[in-house]
Structure 1
């Protein structure tokens, strides 16, 4: 598996939409996310450009529209994010993660 770049929380919101609707136009991304967030169209375009630069998405031009699609699967991004979290917070110790989870969550 190739190296997956770090994706910010805002970029995750865009990626979730791209994975769900794939392929999706920039207009559709803006309409969907401006309803759900307080981001301007320009802010959303900035996030899209960051994802393009990171190599996580790509696009095809169709007439006057840009159609975006993922280059990395949701599953691979989730794996990379989980591994990063585990390394950062628990120094890679899975046992500590489960131990803390069990201590904090009541069993049903």
Structure 2
């Protein structure tokens, strides 16, 4: 899975949210000040070249839509992060969160439940 730039991710988040749209529809989703039309259009064309976005032509206009789901992209990025920064070790990931104290007790309980379910599946 290809890694997107921040600008590309912003456009993808918009497309995942609206489903499909023209450049003007994408720009409408940005907060003020809105980016220039040509800048957004250039980034969308790059996403098309990367096979992340598809389009349907209506004369000279193009309606764009995501070819990759948000879930698939997120999963790929998380897998890459765990592989590249945590030696592909879930133990190191959990250790990071436990040391940085970013998990509250409710989240820890949920993680423990999920791990117990996973353990049952592996043994079952």
- TM-score, normalized by length of structure 2? 0.74
Picking from 28, 44, 47, the partner of 2:40 is: 44
Distance 1:103 1:38 in 2: 40
Picking from 11, 23, 27, the partner of 1:14 is: 11
Alpha carbons of 1:74 and 1:22: their partners in 2 closer, same or farther (altered >3 Å)? same
Greater length-normalized contact order (CA 8 Å, ≥ 6 residues apart): 1
Query: Quick check: which has more Rg, 1 or 2?
Result: 2
Picking from 46, 50, 54, the partner of 1:54 is: 50
Q: How much has 1:93 moved relative to structure 2?
A: 1.2
SS at match of 1:7: coil
Unaligned runs of at least 5 residues, structure 2: 106-124
Could you say what the CA RMSD is over the residues aligned between the two structures, in angstroms? Answer: 1.8
- Alignment length (residue pairs): 104
1:81 aligns with 2:80: no
1:93 aligns with 2:60: no
Distance 2:20 2:98 in 1: 40
Q: How much has 1:64 moved relative to structure 2?
A: 4.0
Could you tell me which residue of structure 1 aligns to residue 62 of structure 2? 66
- TM-score, normalized by length of structure 1? 0.84
Distance 1:50 1:15 in 2: 12
